Structure 1
Amino acid sequence: MKSLGTLSRLLAGSALLLASGALAQTTTTPAAPTATDDTEILVTALRRSESLQNVPASITAFTSKTIEAAGIVRPADFIGLTPNVNLVQTQNAGSSFVIIRGITQARNSEPSVAVVVDGVQQVNAAQFNQELVDIEQIEVLKGPQGALYGRNAIGGAIIITSKAPTDELAGKITAGVDNGFGYFARANLSGPIAENVKFRIAGTWYDTDGFIPNTFLNEDADPFKEFNLRGNLLWQATPELTVDLRGAVSLLRTQAFYYNIVSDVNDVSLPVRVNNAGINDRDLYNATLRIQHDSDIGTFTSTTSYDKVTEILTGDGFNFLPIPESLLFQFFGFDINQSQYLDVSAWSQEFRYASPADKPLQVIVGAYGIGTQRYISTGNLIDTGNGVTPIYRTPSTNPLNPQQTFLADSQDNFAWALFGNAIWKLNDQLRVDASLRYDRDARENTTLTPANFLPNVPGFPPGVTGQVRKRTFDAWQPKLTLTWKPADNVTLFGGWSRGFRSGGFNQTGVGGVAASNGIVGVNDIFEAEIAETFEIGLKTQTADRLLTFNASAFTTKSENSYFFVFLAANSTQNLGNVPETRIKGFEVDATLRPLPGLDLIAGFGYTDSEIKRFPGPGVVGNQAPLISRYTLNLTGNYRRPLTETLDLTARVDYRRTGRTWFDVENSTSRDPIDLVDTRLGVAGRNWSLTGFASNLFNIKYNAEFSPGGFVFKARPRRYGVEASFNF
């Protein structure tokens, strides 16, 4: 792993970036506009369109120009540019954990952040890691936002807005290749189809052999195929009435469970050597209907949405080595592999009223409801060298792959909420934002595990097929912010907010299994998490917008935060609760445009956590899992005319992620990681040709360490070239 100093010298040799020594760094504001974007950035994260520099909140915003310049096509791309925000990608496509200001996530948990795509909140964390198709703007709002976005907005909110249909026929095609060897294509088409009716359709395809070798099978462990399609039909029925219909599908095919087992997360010496390539197939579907009516008294909006998520995983089991070398085979004469299946369907409905935005007092009130059906099964099978049988709802009957363990549960959940928020502009200098939301989440879990597979531990109630468990989680989520503008280009704000994340059910009987194996904090039910945050912030920029500086500081008390435990005894992934954690930190950022066409951006975020209460000894005082001590971002973005019709484009992004802890015991911590991404190209009036590289210096590191020594390799260097044509 290269040191920070070495990487800095390499960056300097790359030419663009580190003239930014005079800059402070960015954690609370926008990824700066690109060189050709000197207009004011408007954001909608607080439910109304406002200037980014005036809005009293810590928001990082990415405009369409920034998205194009930075090559943002997946969530990891923009999260890597956002201070104090991390993404852990591990195990399978649906296991991607967002960590914002120390609020973490784990497998099978509720999200740590509300992800809102075109006004509709994603219903399951397995939806997050997918290609970003035809995006206009991305906003990352930090700190508890439950008052605005409801349960699961405990760490913040990510607002993703697609490009709107156009009045004239227009489109774009992008195609490229990478060193996978892979190829990809992205395209969109938009325009009118009838009077007052417009459409937009966009799709992507990516196919690569992979980047991480499996030396046992002599093939890559991470081949990847993904197809995405999104469509939008917009009907302006009357000047006041708009009908917006959207649909999306995402189909992904890759592999999972290619772990190594080590004691130190920094150990990257072992190659992947699983004898089962396995599968990871994920299908996502969404349909949304939004009806909006504008009038002199305000705007009324109805949003109806349906989502379907299915994901099947198969692969090697512990300890992820070929059969003769596996630990189980050596001790018991057999090896195992595994299968997991997730099936979620949900509908949601929101009604909202917003008063006119040009009044000193602005009000939004509404109601929200979501019904969710969820099924999950997990299990181990005897590995006889004949592959893995995908297991959906019933145990394997394949004599070449007999079932060893099997657990299955279904959930029938219904949550509803009432909410309201107000903005009161007392005068040109003073403003009060107040929000309040009540969420109630009723959950019902039915045990579907056949009796012969139920774990029954002496001293604990026996599991019963058909057993129904019910719990209701509810909370009031208030938010209050005071804003003072002592000058036109200076915004000071401070506030308090409370966030709530629902609890839920581990699979039947794991509490007894955990206790019998000496693991504390894990029960059949995990409790809801509550986080309370105090924050102060500053935003300022020069009148010509050539220099922007922002800063914020926060302190958070979290009760019942999640942590992850894998129980090898019944091959289950479970959540436990940390009774109390204290998190504190700060963020600073700056953007400078020293020359026409050159943007220099810097950002720094610091997070310190401490476990204050825990049922087991030796944990109090430790760092909370998955939290990195700091993030450092430096960016240089340059666009310069070469001729009257040809521009040079260049960009370098550097990110340093500080020391990271992964379990409550702090048994190991990952050393800081330094990554560099670059893009260099030429652009004409309606075309561009760009070379790109992510993880330019091919830094080897593990994306995650989980209890038991499981480490999952991060993707090494990826590079390639792409061409785009607009029409």
Structure 2
Amino acid sequence: MIIANRAIARLLITTAMAAAALPAFAQDAAPAAAEDGGEIIVTATRRADTLQNTPAAVAAFTAATIQSAGIERPADFIALTSNVNLVQTQNAGNAFVIIRGITQARNSEPSVAVIVDGIQQVNPAQFNQELFDIEQIEVLKGPQGGLWGRNAIGGAIVIRSKAPTDEFSGKMTAGIDNGFGYYVRGNLSGPVAENLKFRLAGSWYDTDGFIQNTFLNEKADPIKDLNLRGNLLWTPEPGFELDLRVAYSNLQTQALYFNIVNDVNDTSLPVRVNNRGQNDREIWNAAVKVRYEGDFGAIQNVTSYDRLTEVLTGDAFNFLPIEESLFFQFFGFDLNQSQFLEVDAWSNELRYESPTSWPVELTLGTYMVGTNRFISTGNMVDTGAGVFPVFREPRLTGNNPQFSFLADGQRNFAWAVFANASWKITDQLRLDGSLRYDRDTRRNTTLTPTAFLPNVPGFPQGVTGEVRRRQFQSWQPKFTLSYKPVDNVTLYGGWSRGFRSGGFNQTGVGSVASGNGIVGVSDIFQPEVAETWEVGVKTQTDDRLLTFNAAAFTTRTENSYFFVFLAANSTQNLGNVPLAQIKGFEADLTLRPMQGLDLNVGLGFTDSNIKSFPDATRIGNELPLISRYTLNAGINYTRPITDTLDLNWRVDYNRIGRTWWDVENSTSRNPVDLVNMRLGVSSKRFSVTAFSQNLFNEIYNAEFSPGGFVFKARPRRYGIEASFNF
């Protein structure tokens, strides 16, 4: 009866959303415009323009949408965007963005450029953080390297936090949830002195977790998460701006609570690891932006420094209590594992922007980034005394002595030059073009002690201190022609080329992979290049009652990444698919039938096909991590209760279509249906909101990786929160 009632309730909610209209949310986020009562201004083409006039597939989430949808983490806005998915697995730093079939994998360069307050994130392990005090989020689809820089092979995610204010103001939000958790978020902003303003913001989340470990009789996913951000803005004279930002994040949770199954749809096994595990991640960031605008245009320089450390420990294959583990059955002892990652990075971007009054608007610039990265991985003998982090040296004595150990240091330096131009040929016809050249020099030093280096007969023996160097480079052009036959219709089409640098797997994995019969994996993974053709249409009625946007694309990708775990030395590695073809489309419709009511639906479809692979039996398969389609639908309703009090109700539905996970297509996940709901009351000064994520408690695996590893997705979360503005 409970199952039947749940199914009926789900059917009622989703039917109401679909029947109300055939609307949309994702591609251009028109509901945000309706909520704000005006046009959304975006910077997708590196200049401010209305969302509907921008000749690109863009999802935009304003502060009003962020609040009404309860967007707290990247997964929240990605779930509202067609043809974009997020896979969260293993540990905090592993969250993969899949956008229009361009995928990401462990230890790889990201599939999208992530720009926060004008500063590009260098390390993909930074992406999965708490979102707080955010003004706007833009998701751009398709290669964007010429516009948004490094790793924008699949698109770009542009996040802008709220700016310092001229008057003192602030906001506090506090809530509790069913993980027996609580959270607090807040901000404070105002003037310090003449022409000097500040903003402070932070968040804290503490929960016992949601996924039960039946062996330890406790939750497997507790979280303690602290985030702080400070901003000083100095404007001593008109046109001059100096913006200083610092940020800190400290996350403590657990990791590596896998199950081993043959079918990704098998969710029957509980988590039964005998080790609690550890996943501690700390991030520091400091950045300064200097901008000067005059009659000549604008010059801007942004310098940033990041430091990230992450350590994780936990059980190893096959993630069962010691005496039940496969390793114990064969050898009489079990294993656990540890990984340590430390990354220091700096970057600098200098750009010139011409006046907007020029017939052809120009942007010219340079970019540099330097990275110093250390990673160690290994297995230890599980003596039942718990797990111990291993940092730069193997653990040779005491509890949990080292069984295997690999360590590498990487020093990378990349630079780029870029140019963008926009030519308004007529009032109706416009040509946008961009060109970027990237050169990435990478050096990998083997830091593994000789005794732990793989030694596979017939393959070269690794050497401690060995230095490998590679250079990767590419041009990234992009051209878009747009035409407005009437004011509320924009037609556009174009071609673009995206680039993502190659890099190093840990030393010796190529020989280990070959020794285990795995093809496509070596000590080096090659750079990926994707070429995309795209056409689109954007329409809207004069009163913004109805908005319809659609785009179709085809992408040819060379050296797409795929992931391989080598149990023999406990390493996570990348291989390349030499050639693949990806085709798809998005169609999004939004309707506002009455004041306060927004209805939306978005559909995204992606079809991939492996065209070339060392093992010919893989040709014709789907690329890993790609979902056949995404379906988004939502209702946002606001109704006055009194002169000062409003009722707010929002329901969002997200269906993730069939998903493939490896080049073998050994298993595929059935479609997943997720519903989030928020109900509350608000005034200009306060709000109280009840919420539920994964309302109907859909149980599914968030990821399947080669070897049968599955990682459980979070079940239903619900709670209540209150906010107060001052």
| Shared fold per TM-score greater than 0.5 | yes
Aligned to 2:381: 382
> What per-residue deviation string (whole Å, max 9, x for no partner) do you get for residues 65-91 of structure 1?
000000001000000000100000000
Relative distance call for 1:300 and 1:34 in structure 2 (3 A) is: closer
2:158 corresponds to which letter in structure 1? I
Range with greater deviation from structure 2 (411-420 or 349-358): 349-358
One-letter amino acid of the counterpart of residue 384, structure 1: T
2:391 aligned partner: 392
Aligned to 1:325: 324
Offset of residue 358 of structure 1 = 3.1
Q: Displacement, 1:374?
A: 0.3
Matches within 5 A, 1:197-596: 197-596=196-595
1:708 corresponds to which residue?
707
Cα shift readout 1:117-150 (whole Å, capped 9, x = no counterpart):
0000101110000001210000000001111122
Does residue 1:120 correspond to 2:119, yes or no? yes
Q: Distance in 2 between matches of 1:271 and 1:499?
A: 41
Q: How far 1:151 sits from its partner (Å)?
A: 2.8
What secondary structure, in the 3-state scheme, does the structure 1 residue paired with 2:616 have? coil
Counterpart in the other structure of 1:78: 77
Separation in structure 1 between the aligned mates of residue 539 and residue 317 of structure 2, nearest angstrom:
53
Q: CA deviation at 1:352?
A: 0.3
Distance in 2, matches of 1:658 and 1:216, equals 33
Runs (4 or more) in structure 1 with deviation over 6 Å come to 5-8
Residues 564 and 572 in structure 2, CA contact (< 8 A), matched pair in contact too: yes
Q: Give the CA deviation at 1:359.
A: 3.1
1:188 partner SS: strand
Q: CA offsets per residue over residues 22-43 of structure 1, 9 Å max, x none?
A: 4154553225216541110000
Q: Is the partner of 1:618 in helix, strand or coil?
A: helix
Q: 1:435/1:646 Cα in 2 relative to 1: closer, same or farther (>3 Å)? A: same
- Contact 2:607/2:628 (<8 A) preserved: yes
The 1-side partners of 2:165 and 2:446 are apart by 50
Q: Check the 8 A contact 2:24/2:599 in 1, yes or no.
A: no
Give, in angstroms, the shift of residue 11 of structure 1: 4.5
Change (3 A) 1:16 1:160: farther
TM-aligned CA distance change 1:179 to 1:329, over 3 Å: same
Structure 2 contact 579–612 (Cα < 8 Å) conserved = yes
Q: Per-residue displacement from partner, 1:641-690 (whole Å, max 9, x unpaired)?
A: 00001100000000100000000000000000000000000002200000
Between the aligned partners of 1:508 and 1:13, the Cα distance in structure 2 is: 55
Once residues 237 and 556 of structure 1 are traced to their aligned partners in structure 2, the CA distance between those partners, rounded to angstroms, is: 48
Measured in 1, the distance between the counterparts of 2:638 and 2:19 equals 17
Q: 2: CA distance between counterparts of 1:358 and 1:604?
A: 38
Report what 2:687 is aligned to. Answer: 688
Q: Deviations over 1:597-645 (max 9, x none)?
A: 0000110000000000000131000000000000000000011100001
Letter in 1 for 2:362: V
Q: CA RMSD in A?
A: 1.4
Give the counterpart letter for 1:196 in structure 2.
Answer: N
Do the aligned partners of 2:28 and 2:57 also contact (CA within 8 Å) in 1?
yes
Asked if structure 2 preserves the Cα contact closer than 8 Å seen for 1:176 and 1:185, the reply is yes
Percent identity over paired residues = 68
| Cα distance in 1 between the residues matched to 2:501 and 2:490 | 34
* Alignment: residue pair count: 725
Aligned equivalents of 1:267 and 1:386: distance in 2?
31
Q: Is the 8 A contact 1:564 1:575 kept in 2?
A: yes
Partner of 1:598: 597
Say whether 1:40 aligns with 2:44: no
Q: Is contact 2:284-2:308 (8 Å) kept?
A: yes
Structure 1 residue 66 and structure 2 residue 91: aligned?
no
Q: Distance in 2 between matches of 1:310 and 1:83?
A: 33
How far is the alpha carbon of 1:389 from its aligned partner? 1.5
**8 Å contact from structure 1 (residues 411, 444) kept in 2:** yes
TM-score (structure 1 length as normaliser) = 0.98
Q: 1:16–1:658: structure 2 CA closer, same or farther, 3 Å change rule? A: closer
Alpha carbons 2:21, 2:591 under 8 Å: kept? no
Report the Cα distance in structure 2 between the residues aligned to 1:384 and 1:193, rounded to whole angstroms: 57
Contact 1:483 1:492 survives alignment (8 Å): yes
d(CA) in 2 for partners of 1:126, 1:566: 18
- Stretches of structure 2 that go unaligned for 5 or more consecutive residues are none
Q: Distance in 1 between matches of 2:650 and 2:58?
A: 22
Quickly say closer, same or farther: Cα 1:670–1:31, change in 2 above 3 A. farther
Match of 1:610 in 2: 609
| 1:720 paired to 2:716 | no
Deviation at 1:16, TM superposition (A): 9.3
Give the Cα–Cα distance (whole angstroms) in 1 for the partners of residues 334 and 209 of structure 2. Answer: 27
Unpaired runs of 5+ in structure 1? none
8 Å contact kept, 1:244–1:291:
yes
Q: CA deviation at 1:7?
A: 7.9
Q: Helix, strand or coil: the match of 1:305?
A: strand
Change (3 A) 1:76 1:554: same
- Rate the CA distance shift 1:76–1:726 in 2: closer, same or farther, 3 A: same
SS in 1 for 2:625: coil
How does the TM-score come out when normalised to structure 2?
Answer: 0.98
Q: Secondary structure at the match of 2:514?
A: helix
Aligned mates of 1:697, 1:357 — CA distance in 2: 50
Which residue matches 2:89?
90
The one-letter amino acid paired with 1:668 is: T
Aligned letter for 1:666? N
The one-letter amino acid of 1:661's match is: W
Q: Distance in 1 between matches of 2:64 and 2:464?
A: 55
